[in-house]
Structure 1
Amino acid sequence: MIKEDKILLTNKRIVIKVGSAVLREGNTLAIERLNNLVDLIATLKKEKNTQVILVSSGAVAAGNIALKLDKTQVLNRQALAAIGQPLLMKYYKKRFKEHGFRCAQMLLVEEDFDSRKRSKNAKGVMEILLTNDIIPILNENDVIANKELLFGDNDQLAAHAAYFFDADLLTILSDVDGLYDSNPHENPNAKMRKIVNNIEDDELEMKHTPNSEFATGGIVTKLKAANFLLKRNKMMYLSSGFDLTNAYDFLVHENHNSGTLFKK
């Protein structure tokens, strides 16, 4: 008997988004966590025949390793993104190759989804990559996207990618392990909301609280991503990117032990 919150992902297409807070540790890239992420994706592809689109933050953080700049300045963040993006891809390419997979880079901005011609072209490229068993790695084009760099975030990019590229599920791996009924840092009795069918307007207007100096998101941006998908009858799963146990349980073993599933 299949539980109501059990999602079958064999032969499906999913988007996995990982944030800067997960991919950075101190003054360097969190290589172990990046490796664990690649292992998860490789497992999904080999055991579940799942098509995976990866949305990865971390370019600015990776660039900061090579060059120390004031990240509060927009041009500095753009320069760090330009430096860090190929460094980030270098690690991904190396690790995916060890599993026998190839990956490709796609840098997008919001306008790519608003323009019919550009979104059609992006869809065409995406289908070619997935059909040829190549793992697309998406990021916001921080080097040229002024407004998006200040106010945008990869949670929204991932939500749009899940919708426009016809994915069955968006998974966000974050520094939070799910959505709680109150702030777990302030309330030790806070309980995780395992299934969320609707997001209230006041939840979308809470204060923006990213937990990393390199992050541009927070729980609100994740709720906005989930709300975008719920309105389009798509699903989103939110879990920890630090410990992938729950992600394996849900995505690979199809057991919803923890993490929050947003679904109608």
Structure 2
Amino acid sequence: MKRLVIKVGTAVLTQDGELAYDRMKNLVKLIAKLKNEKKLEVILVSSGAVGAGYTSLKLEKTILNKQVLASIGQPKLMKTYQEMFEEYDITIAQMLFVANDFDSRKSSKNLKIVASTLLENDILPIVNENDILSPEILIGDNDQMAAYVAYYFKADMLAILTDIDGYYDKNPREFSDAKLQKVVTEISIAELEKTPSANSKFATGGIVTKLKAADFLMQKNIPMYLTSGFDLTNAYDFLVDGNHKSGTIFKNKN
């Protein structure tokens, strides 16, 4: 594996109306290890702008207010990342997209050139949806955005770090006998058509958007790994050491 996209969600990056600094530090440490020791090219798709904005201005959850909060939170989020990555001598760059950017041949070509140039110069691109320009913040809490990034930027894998440690055969919060699915090679239409839900106040995703991201990539023959962003033990085991002890890998049957 040479190029890896990591996506981290709002639920991981915020807690009790504040940025979850310890979890962010752990994420930064993991990425630094992947870049500096494993010599991987890493692209970080990071949610959290709206949640970061809420730490400064308490507004109700409406689309307009979320756009306002994102305008406050995005620079705060990037400043935090910048300070943390500087400890590992990693320079970051910000890339803000909207869904239409991937539909436009000219825009997608320019994005690929910029991303490739950044990676060639050992810069870490941090990608987020441009909530200010999006009429609705509904790409899927960046899950599907991350899948697009992995495909268009020719990544070898997408890793989603979230508030669950993998994909279960049933909701583990409701059923004590739920079993983790370590490898998934097919996702049913019924699962993909379920209504998305999310636990975080400012998240718009949930397991359904992650399944849609996985399904998109499986059709492109790109694997996706899903695991916890709260405890990065599984992520280290798999991404750093190559041991798949837990978490779910979605991959094409072939």
* TM-score, normalised via structure 2 length: 0.97
- Counterpart AA for 2:9: G
CA distance in 2, matches of 1:123, 1:151: 20
CA distance in 1, matches of 2:59, 2:197: 23
Aligned partner of 1:5 in structure 2 is none
1:210 aligns with 2:205: no
Aligned partner of 1:58 in structure 2 is 48
Aligned partner of 1:31 in structure 2 is 21
Aligned partner of 2:66 in structure 1 is 77
Give the CA deviation at 1:206: 1.7
1:17 aligns with 2:1: no
1:165-203, Cα deviation, whole Å (9 max, x unpaired) = 000000000001100111111211111000001111011
1:256 aligns with 2:236: no
- Counterpart AA for 1:163: Y
Aligned partner of 1:97 in structure 2 is 86
1:48 aligns with 2:42: no
Structure 2 gaps, min length 5: none
- Counterpart AA for 1:159: A
> Does the 8 Å CA contact 2:197/2:207 hold for their aligned counterparts?
yes
Match of 1:199 among 176, 179, 187: 187
1:221 aligns with 2:209: yes
Match of 1:123 among 91, 103, 112: 112
1:106 aligns with 2:95: yes
Secondary structure at the counterpart of residue 77 of structure 2: helix
Give the CA deviation at 1:122: 0.2
Aligned partner of 1:4 in structure 2 is none
Change (3 A) 1:223 1:56: same
1:12-70, Cα deviation, whole Å (9 max, x unpaired) = 10000000000001021000000000000000011110000000000001011111111
Structure 1 gaps, min length 5: 1-8
Change (3 A) 1:143 1:49: same
Secondary structure at the counterpart of residue 254 of structure 1: coil
For this pair of structures, how many residues does the alignment match? 252
* TM-score, normalised via structure 1 length: 0.94
- Counterpart AA for 1:219: I
Secondary structure at the counterpart of residue 111 of structure 2: helix
- Counterpart AA for 1:206: K
Give the CA deviation at 1:150: 4.0
Secondary structure at the counterpart of residue 185 of structure 1: coil
CA distance in 1, matches of 2:3, 2:138: 30
1:83-142, Cα deviation, whole Å (9 max, x unpaired) = 000000001001111001100000001111100000000000000100000000000000
Give the CA deviation at 1:151: 5.5
- Counterpart AA for 2:32: A
Q: Which moved more, 1:164-173 or 1:63-72?
A: 63-72
Give the CA deviation at 1:153: 2.7
> Does the 8 Å CA contact 2:92/2:125 hold for their aligned counterparts?
yes
After the TM superposition, list the runs of 4 or more consecutive aligned residues in structure 1 that deviate by more than 6 angstroms: none
